[in-house]
């Protein structure tokens, strides 16, 4: 069965520290997509990134970077030089049969 | 371009009452979804509509019905509300193609309390 695990329930760091959010997935599909979403305290869900299973290149977008490793079934998300505005719940998800399978989320707290 | 809109934003119901949550998208997406998010938890899929004219059950469909009114609109109905249905409800939409892979875009959510 498809499953997405975010083992870190909550992470708290001081501003400007780097932080990595872990995501491990299980799938038997040979082609699949992985996603990260952000849910700030205001409650909306914001799409961050989509990654195809054929593309294992790391991706960087400003202070955000993603490390996709098929060998360990992981799709980790790193925030460099964290800021208070990064405080949010972050969800990892994988698509399966036109639906998204969601992890439970990691609550990230950035202290000033 | 409003994206995905949901009404109402907040609702309080008494046990046994019924209501319909409305969702509309203006991105010409084929697929639409209804999720619930309970406090401190992730999203659970209630129902989805891969394309106009089709609906399918998700992980937690009991107590809910849906209608895909047209390509833009997808409503969620609670026939007889129960306190266990107190939650935040999100509607989402996405493109659709064989093989999947499209990100979903979410509405702002409806906070529902059943007393």
Q: Which tens digits make up the pLDDT trace of B91-108?
A: 999 986 666 678 899 999
Query: What share of chain B has pLDDT > 90, as a percent?
Result: 82
- Whether the CB-CB separation of B48 and B100 falls below 8 Å is answered with no
Contacts of B110 in chain A (CB under 8 A): none
Decide: residue A55, CB within 10 A, 0-12 exposed, 13-18 middle, 19+ buried: exposed
The residue of chain B with its CA nearest to that of A36 is: B103
Using an 8 Å Cβ cutoff, are B114 and B103 in contact?
Answer: no
Element (H, E) at A60: strand A59-61
Distance (Å) from the alpha carbon of B92 to chain A's nearest alpha carbon: 10
A98/B103 CB distance under 8 A: no
Query: Do the Cβ atoms of A52 and B88 come within 8 Å?
Result: no
pLDDT digits (tens, 9 = 90+) for A26-63: 998 888 899 999 999 999 999 999 888 888 888 888 99
To test the contact with chain B by mutation, choose from A30, A50, A95, A98 the residue with the greatest count of B C-beta atoms within 10 A, namely A98
Residue B63 touches chain A, beta carbons under 8 Å: no
Nearest to B107 by CA among B20, B18, B26: B26
Share of chain A above pLDDT 70, in %: 99
Average pLDDT over residues B30-46: 91
Chain B residues 71-90 with CB within 8 Å of chain A: 88, 90
In the prediction, which pLDDT does B97 show? 64
Q: Is B53 on the interface with A (CB under 8 A)?
A: no
Residue in A33, A50, A98 closest to B96 by CB: A98
pLDDT of the residue at B100: 65
């Amino acid at each position: 069965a498809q499953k997405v695990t975010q083992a870190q329930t909550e992470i708290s760091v001081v501003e400007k520290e780097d932080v990595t959010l872990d995501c491990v997935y299980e799938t038997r599909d040979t082609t699949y997509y992985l996603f990260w979403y952000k849910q700030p305290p205001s409650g909306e869900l914001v799409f961050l990134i989509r990654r195809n299973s054929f593309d294992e290149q790391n991706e960087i977008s400003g202070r955000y970077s993603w490390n996709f490793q098929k060998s360990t079934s992981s799709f980790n998300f790193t925030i460099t030089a964290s800021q208070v505005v990064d405080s949010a719940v972050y969800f990892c998800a994988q698509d399966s049969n036109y639906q998204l399978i969601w992890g439970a989320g990691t609550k990230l707290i950035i202290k000033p | 371009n409003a994206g995905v809109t949901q009404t109402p934003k907040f609702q309080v119901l008494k046990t046994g009452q019924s209501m319909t949550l409305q969702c509309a998208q203006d991105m010409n997406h084929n697929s639409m979804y209804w999720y619930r998010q309970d406090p401190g938890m992730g999203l659970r899929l209630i129902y989805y509509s891969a394309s106009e004219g089709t609906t399918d059950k998700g992980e937690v469909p009991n107590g809910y019905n849906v209608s895909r009114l047209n390509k833009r609109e997808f409503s969620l109905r609670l026939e007889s509300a129960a306190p266990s249905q107190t939650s935040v409800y999100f509607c989402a939409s996405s493109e659709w193609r064989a093989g999947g892979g499209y990100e979903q875009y979410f509405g702002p959510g409806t906070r529902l309390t059943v007393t």
